Amino acid sequence: MALPSAAHRDALQDWLAGLSALDAASEHTRAAYARDVGRFLAFLAQHLGGGAGMRQLGEITQADMRAWMAHERATGLCSRSLARKLSAVKSFARWLAEREDLEVSAILAARAPKYARNLPRPLSESAARDMIALMPVQTRDDWTGLRDAAVVTLLYGCGLRVSEALGLMGRDLPLGESLRIDGKGGRERIVPLLPAARAAIDAYLRACPHPMAADAPLFRGNRGGALGRRHVAKVMESTRHQLGLPATATPHALRHSFATHLLTAGGDLRAIQELLGHASLQSTQVYTAVENGRMLEVYNAAHPRARK
């Protein structure tokens, strides 16, 4: 595939720099955007004959967009991934239209392929409780078992991402009735800290053999460094095997469980959005589909006519 023109590369770097400075996009997000839009610009350089400048970006047709999407699909790209790439390309095109006064309607009009969105797979309330109860016996040392139990209690009791729980520092102590979390995209939120979660963390801190400094991670590995995500995944894998739970019982499933169980108990969707740190309500609304699906299962199992 041809390389993007110098003008396109410079525009891409300026856009990425703006994302970092103004939108506080994470390094992972910027890398994904750089890769996706970079491939799009490389395709255009080849498709349009090389050396494509800014003027040619304003002359892109819907046929050009269909050719790019067909090229990406030919590499084995799934519909979900292609939709993500198209979203990145459209974001870049909007920025470019404002900066260069270009007509990019053909890019913005391109329709993403339809795909079935995977619904979250939460644990039942009893399975989540069993997972937390069994966690302390998965390691040889008492303090590491208490540490692992504290982490999963935070995931389920506060709806944290694994990275958010492991990102807590000594400076976050002493624990109060809430936690200040720096989430994805630099979005800060306050989440209530349940007494059970606070008690689990306190039990771990009393047993932890490593000194707790303000600039040290709250959850420590065996040698005193930061606890890794891989360890949390492995210890949950071991626990789910013992409980006979499916492979979907992952650390992130506890966050799904937090949201689903709140919704089942009558929680407000907007409030759950804030607790999860979702930028869009659409991300939170997926849990209504989970709950509706469960209600339908109960109906089919219990209703006399449904059983016929």
Q: Exposed, middle or buried by CB within 10 Å (0-12, 13-18, 19+), for 215?
A: exposed
CATH class of 125-301: mainly alpha
Please report the pLDDT score of residue 130 as a whole number: 92
User: Does the domain spanning 6-109 belong to CATH 1.10.150?
Assistant: yes
pTM exceeds 0.75 for this model: no
pLDDT tens track for 28-60: 788 888 999 999 988 888 887 765 667 778 888
Residue of 273, 157, 172 lying closest to 217 (CA atoms): 172
Q: Where are the beta strands (DSSP E) in 158-227?
A: 178-182, 188-192
Could you tell me what percent of the chain has a pLDDT over 70?
Answer: 84
> If you average pLDDT over every residue of the chain, what do you get?
83
Where does the pLDDT of residue 302 fall: very low under 50, low under 70, confident under 90, or very high at 90 and above? very low
The confidence score (pLDDT) of residue 305 equals: 52
Whether 303 has a pLDDT exceeding 50, the answer reads no
Q: What is the pLDDT of residue 121?
A: 76
State the pLDDT at residue 118.
60
pLDDT in tens, 79-101: 888 888 999 999 999 998 888 88
Alpha carbon distance 166, 290 (integer Å): 27
The residues annotated as belonging to the active site are 161, 184, 252, 255, 278, 287
Q: Which residue has the higher pLDDT, 23 or 282?
A: 282
Q: What percent of the chain has pLDDT over 90?
A: 34
Residue 250: pLDDT over 80: yes
Q: What is the DSSP letter of 122?
A: P
Helices 229-243 and 142-158: angle between axes, nearest 10 degrees: 90
Q: Is the pLDDT of residue 169 over 90?
A: yes
- Cα 18 to Cα 31: distance, rounded to the nearest angstrom: 14
Distance between CA atoms of residues 13 and 76, nearest Å = 27
- Condensed to tens digits (0 to 9), the pLDDT of residues 208-217 reads 999 999 999 9
pLDDT at 152 over 80: yes
113 pLDDT band, cuts 50/70/90, is confident
What's the pLDDT tens digit per position in 253-266? 888 888 888 877 77
- Please give the pLDDT value at position 291: 54
Count of all residues that appear for the chain in the document: 308
Least confident range of 2-6, 175-179, 219-223, 246-250: 2-6
Q: Where are the domains of the chain?
A: 6-109, 125-301
